[in-house]
Structure 1
Amino acid sequence: MDSAALKDTKAQTRRTMRAQRDAVPDAERAKLSRLCCENLLQHAPLDQAAIVGLFMPIQSEIDSTLLIPPLLKRGAALALPVPIGRTGMLFRSYKEGTELVDAGFGTRAPGRGAREVMPDLLVMPLLAFDSECNRIGYGAGHYDRYISERILSGSKPMLVGLAFSFQQLDKVPVGGYDLPLDMIVTDKDVIRAPEGD
């Protein structure tokens, strides 16, 4: 598939999957969010991470804020992403009571007074995924750029996608620069990247 066709296919996939996610009733989304977060707390290697990077949900995403109280209770250090420019990103330390400010793209994050940190494990949002842990995000490339920079610096974090099970496709359209995740956790399953990847 050439680059133009791949771009068009990804855009169509994003539209389709966003519409499916938006169509889930609030009560059902809340129930599925709880199941997703419970699975992540049980199966993701959170204890191996000094700092866990989370995300604040936007639009019809999983309510990832359900992870915050149990992780803080475990004594985990948390961080939230801050978009920088069109494709850049960094993470700032998040503690209970940290004031969140508008960070652009509909997100909220700790302000400039919060310490910049480098999470060992990222819990990431997505629009679609497949059984090989390929992911489609929103298309801005913030996570892709951040992860690539971490890989180049020799400090690749563990990558864990958090998704509703209905977001799984037989095959996600990917290019040579798209990186698979290490694990994807849903309300029904825990999917790990194939051995050797």
Structure 2
Amino acid sequence: MTLPPRELKKMLRQEALARRDALDPRWRIEASFRFAEKASEIAPMPGTVVSGFWPMRSEVDVRPLMAALRDGGARLCLPAILDKTTIVFRELLRGAPLVDMGFGTQGPGEDAAELEPELMLVPLAAFDARGHRIGYGAGYYDRAIERLRQRGRAPNLIGIAFDCQEVPEVPNEAHDIALPEILTESGLRRFAQPL
């Protein structure tokens, strides 16, 4: 019996997250610092707006990578959850207070400037060798990227994951956005995208 795409994604997500959760916490910390060592491979021009994310659960901690990108001149922002369907990106400034965003994450408060990312570090639950991703199921990033594209923006998308989150194949759905690049502890992977 073949599972419908949504159910197959749910199963693949659970399996990939279980593998990620099983990683030794000390190893995850060291691996997160290795991501920062790869900043030069993805570093944009100074002044480029880069969205990162506050790590939740056993995710890659991208804060060292974000700090390295800031040191190279990037402007940083983090997602802010507005409601059950919408995130915006607010500027992350050194020393500015962060507020609870739910899901165990934090981000800049309402007084922070909203920015449109030109480079997005995209969290994910699972990915395949084509650059297709499985998120956490809420669709926040798919909708945010689509809104940017509707406004004529084309942010560079780089998925962030551990190697253990790779799955044989992610089922395609019409709303899914494939990633041209994914950064893991092994390095940057680039994928051919359909025209």
In the alignment, is residue 87 of structure 1 matched against residue 85 of structure 2?
A: yes
Alignment correspondent of 2:33: 34
What is the match of residue 64 of structure 1?
62
118-127 or 169-178, which moves further after superposition? 169-178
Cα deviation per residue 1:89-116 (whole Å; 9 max; x = unaligned)? 1000111111110112222110011011
Segment drifting more, 186-195 vs 140-149: 186-195
- 1:24-66 per-residue CA deviation (whole Å, 9 max, x = no partner) reads 1111111222223322x02114227620111010000001111
Tell me the matched-pair count: 195
Instruction: Name 1:16's counterpart in structure 2.
Output: 15
Secondary structure of 1:46's counterpart equals: coil
- Aligned Cα root-mean-square deviation (Å): 1.9
SS for the counterpart of 2:4 is helix
Contact 1:133 1:184 survives alignment (8 Å): yes
Name structure 2 gaps, 5 residues minimum. none
* Inter-partner Cα distance in structure 2 for 1:10 and 1:124: 18
> Percent same amino acid at aligned positions?
36
Question: Aligned-pair distance for 1:165?
Answer: 1.2
Correspondences of 1:90-169 after superposition (within 5 Å) = 90-169=88-167
Distance 1:161 1:137 in 2: 10
Q: Please report the TM-score for the alignment, with normalisation by the length of structure 1.
A: 0.92
State the TM-score, normalizing by the size of structure 2.
0.93
Give the C-alpha shift of residue 23 in structure 1: 0.7
| SS of the residue 1:47 aligns to | coil
Runs (5+) with no aligned partner, structure 1: none
Equivalent residue for 1:44? 42
Q: State the match for 1:185 in structure 2.
A: 183
Q: Which runs of 4+ in 1 moved over 3 A?
A: none
Point out the more displaced range, 58-67 or 72-81. Answer: 72-81
